[in-house]
């Protein structure tokens, strides 16, 4: 099973993807995690990515597409994968499609977490990660609106998009996610 999980910053993707991974036993492909760890290791990719991440900007497509391509080479990804925070631009979505189509393993479903903006800011400020300052948060929202929101239409046209109401407790949200994937589980 190949799932994409997208949502604005602070929507609860991290919490929900942890549950999904455990429940479905899928390998995790989080570009945020990969890029953060490259940054900590001070690799060439990590240092380049840090310049964008620290400002709340998206890392350029070629860099992100390359790290995803590398991760997809690992044998564990052959049985499926949860793409977490990727794709975030139309260019990334098209690259992913090309890759998956040539492998004969298209995406099964795209989940998008919907949470209203005031609630998102409240959650982000409570989390206090390095890139969670107010100005950076604002920029990450803008990037989401400008670059990532257009993806929703792209996937809606293919009838694989499932919007999930991200309000309420983590249990409530996860219940909705499971319901949106119920038909895939039995396959």
d(CA 151, CA 93): 8
Active site residue 140: yes
* 154 forms part of the interface with ligand AMP (CB under 6 A): no
Closest to 59 in 3D by CA, of 82, 38, 28, 41: 38
Active site residue 39: no
Catalytic residue among 79, 117, 122, 129: 129
State the nearest-atom distance from the C-beta of 57 to ligand AMP, in Å.
6
* 53 vs 81 by CB, closer to ligand AMP: 53
* 98 vs 183 by CB, closer to ligand AMP: 98
On the question of a cis peptide bond just before residue 87, with omega within 30 degrees of 0, the verdict is yes
* Beta-bridge partner residues of 4: 83, 110
Distances (CA, A) of 180 to 4, 46, 61, 65, 154: 13, 35, 29, 27, 19
* 58 forms part of the interface with ligand AMP (CB under 6 A): yes
Active site residue 127: yes
Report residue 36 as tokens: 């953060």
* HSE of 131, CA atoms in CB hemisphere, 13 A: 18
* 11 forms part of the interface with ligand AMP (CB under 6 A): no
Q: Among 20, 26, 45, 64, which residue interacts with ligand AMP (rule: CB under 6 A)?
A: 64
Q: What does the binding site for ligand AMP look like in residue numbers (CB under 6 A)? A: 9, 31-32, 35, 52-53, 56-59, 64, 85-88, 92, 140
């Amino acid at each position: 099973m190949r799932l994409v999980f997208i949502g604005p910053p602070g929507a609860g993707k991290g919490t929900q993807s942890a549950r999904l991974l455990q429940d479905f036993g899928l390998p995790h492909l989080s570009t945020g995690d990969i890029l953060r760890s490259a940054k900590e290791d001070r690799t060439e990719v990590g240092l380049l990515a840090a310049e964008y991440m620290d400002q709340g900007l998206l890392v350029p497509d070629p860099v992100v597409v390359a790290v995803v391509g590398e991760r997809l080479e690992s044998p564990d990804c052959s049985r499926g994968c949860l793409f977490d925070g990727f794709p975030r631009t139309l260019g990334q979505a098209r690259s992913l499609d090309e890759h998956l189509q040539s492998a004969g393993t298209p995406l099964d479903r795209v989940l998008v977490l919907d949470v209203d903006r005031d609630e998102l800011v409240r959650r982000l400020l409570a989390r206090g990660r390095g890139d969670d300052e107010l100005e950076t948060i604002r920029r990450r929202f803008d990037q989401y609106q400008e670059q990532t929101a257009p993806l929703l239409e792209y996937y809606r046209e293919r009838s694989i998009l499932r919007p999930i109401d991200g309000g309420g407790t983590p249990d409530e949200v996860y219940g909705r996610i499971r319901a949106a994937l119920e038909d895939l589980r039995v396959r």
